[in-house]
Amino acid sequence: MRRLLMTLLTAAALNTPVASAAPLQWQPAQLSQSVQRDLQSRITDTRYRLFVSAPSTPAPAAGWPVLYVLDGNALFPALAMQARAADLRAERSGAEPVLVVGIGYPVEGLYDMPARAQDYTPSPRHTEVEPDRQRDADDFARVIEEEIKPLIAAQYSVDQSRQTLFGHSYGGLFTLHVLLHSPASFSGYVAASPSIWWDQHSLLEAVPSFVGNTEGQPRKLRLLLSVGLAEEPSADAGGDQRTALLRQRRMVSNVKALFTQLQPLTGKKLDSELLLIPGADHGASALVTSLRVLDFAVQPTSP
């Protein structure tokens, strides 16, 4: 009888709804196979958030190619998932894994607008300097070179000859600034919808010197320029304030003009590719360009 009673009690317990248990709660989603940490920069006295997605396979003898992604809070997740999917298919597809490093800020949203405006833009030459400005693109370039890259290289096996920088909008402006002023910092550069209009196009003032100086560069670099064709309205597209601003910034025309200016370097110092994206606006250009970035990052460098 006692054994029967215990059996019945146990069965009842197993079949009773768990009413007393704590209700299931929604939890913040976790990004698979990725890690993050904060870095307090001694150069800019600014805290950055670093995101890393590393391949699951052992690194080759030369190390993994590395993709550094600006606006990491916004752009890292999709690229990390792409890299992870490619990693899982690598045996069948022969695709080479990529180490993806996102550089962002310790914020809940996608962007820290004030911080990126200081980090990604050079000190203005033709417009008034903001009174609260504390740093500029040159300072942030030092953060990457002197603090972030060594931190990544100490933790992961890195192919120093294949490191790519990817930036969009102000991040694209920064990417081009590094290319023109410190070209040896990376082997590949991807500038999506770069804000060439900024500071009265002052970025373009460095192009003639960059094109004319072909000495002292040990390897040929690669550049992918992209822009959405919807970023520059046609003359008959209407006259509201936003349309007028887009027309004034000439996003498509600026990118095309820069690409043309860089053509004398093809096959010598820099191989450039232009990606014009039909129907894409400023935000969509970042997503479409992201689909090309991983393949771009694994390409071998040329002497």
Strand ranges for the chain from DSSP E: 35-40, 47-53, 64-70, 99-104, 158-168, 188-192, 221-228, 270-277
**pLDDT given for residue 10 in this prediction:** 42
The reported pTM is 0.89
* 134 in Cβ contact with 44 (< 8 Å): yes
Distances (CA, A) of 132 to 51, 105, 280: 28, 19, 34
Q: Which phi and psi (to 5°) does residue 76 adopt? A: -65, -45
pLDDT tens across the length of the chain (303 residues): 444 334 433 444 444 454 555 678 998 888 888 999 999 999 999 999 999 999 998 999 999 999 999 999 999 999 999 999 988 887 777 788 999 999 999 999 999 999 999 999 999 988 887 778 889 999 999 999 999 999 999 999 999 999 999 999 999 999 999 999 999 999 999 999 999 999 999 999 999 999 998 676 778 899 999 999 999 987 776 677 788 888 888 999 999 999 999 999 998 899 999 999 999 999 999 999 999 999 999 998 776
Q: Which CATH architecture has domain 33-298?
A: 3-Layer(aba) Sandwich (3.40)
C-alpha distances in Å from residue 180, one per residue of 120, 176, 216, 221, 303: 14, 6, 14, 11, 19
CB atoms near residue 157 (< 10 Å):
15
- Is the distance from CB of 196 to CB of 255 less than 8 angstroms? yes
DSSP state at residue 144: I
Instruction: Give the amino acid at 8.
Output: L
**Rounded CA separation 46/196 (Å):** 25
pLDDT at 52: 98
- Per the listing, tokens 């197993």 go with 14
Q: Which two tokens stand for residue 41?
A: 């920069």
**Separation between Cα atoms, residue 73 and residue 71, nearest integer Å:** 6
Strand 47-53, strand 64-70: pairing: unpaired
3-state secondary structure of 40: strand
Query: What pLDDT, on the 0 to 100 scale, is given for residue 97?
Result: 92
